[in-house]
Chains A and B, each alone.
Chain A
């Protein structure tokens, strides 16, 4: 009776005569073999489903490419941080160099001897 619910190719046919005795059920179960036909399109359809889900929403797209976008984020933010820091330091250094010269104009008589008429 149970096997009537498994009406599929390769599965025991529901038309098979059934014997209700416990011994014959055990025998039937022992001889039961499932031989599903090979499906060459299975893998392709799985990837198609994944692709469809990835296109469904932005978070899903990101979840579908976590490694690539994580790497891109780390590289871009690190590069931006170091560029910003380097530019600021270069600017401070340039200011400092200019101020040393201004400072020495006041302090250095050799400079003043050149500038005074």
Chain B
């Protein structure tokens, strides 16, 4: 009986050690560290295996995109305020809503074009993975991203 229990104990310990080793080997510490710091650019660099040149180019693209992002943001805020100023039954409310949706669509197209430029700077495999990760989130903004942001992600 003591050998049975001893063998079981050794087996459990060996299994636990195997599990820990496999966990460590399969983890991506760079991605985890970036997530712990909330550093999106560090995550981009680690997860998509960017070298210094690619990373510098992508940073430059992001910086160049920032002013147009600000402008889109301002236009969407204006359209949102205009729509909210109107009452539900107001005939102009539908037009204001349409204008807001148009501005959001312009913005969505702009950001999609931007991330495609970013993906083009990555290796083909990483670029495809990046687009597969980012584009659905951009397209699903109304359904998924916005509620998360209201709760968890102060700018």
A residues touching B (Cβ–Cβ < 8 Å)? 55, 58, 61-62, 69, 72-73, 76-77, 79-85, 87-89, 91-92, 95-96, 98-116
Contact = CB atoms under 8 A, between A and B. Distances in A.
Interface of B: 3-4, 6-7, 11-12, 14-16, 18-28, 31-32, 34-35, 38, 40, 43-44, 47, 62, 65, 69-74, 76-77, 80, 104, 107-108, 110-111, 114-115, 133-134, 137-138, 141, 145-146, 148-150, 152-155
B133 A96 contact: yes
A112 to B, nearest CB: 4
Nearest to B133: A100
Given A76-B12, A79-B15, A99-B34, A88 B155 contact: no
Would you call the interface of chain A mostly helix, strand, loop, or mixed?
helix
Contact of A99 (B16, B43, B73): B43
Given A99-B47, A112-B69, A116-B77, 10 more contacts: A62-B3, A69-B7, A84-B21, A88-B24, A92-B27, A100-B137, A101-B145, A101-B149, A103-B40, A109-B71
B73 to A, nearest CB: 4
A71 to B, nearest CB: 11
A117 B19 CA distance: 48
B145 A109 contact: no
A103 B63 CA distance: 14
A73 B141 contact: no
A84 B20 contact: yes
Closest 8 CB pairs of A and B: A84-B22, A88-B26, A109-B72, A95-B35, A84-B19, A80-B15, A84-B23, A109-B73
A76 B20 CA distance: 13
Contact of B11 (A73, A85, A88): A73
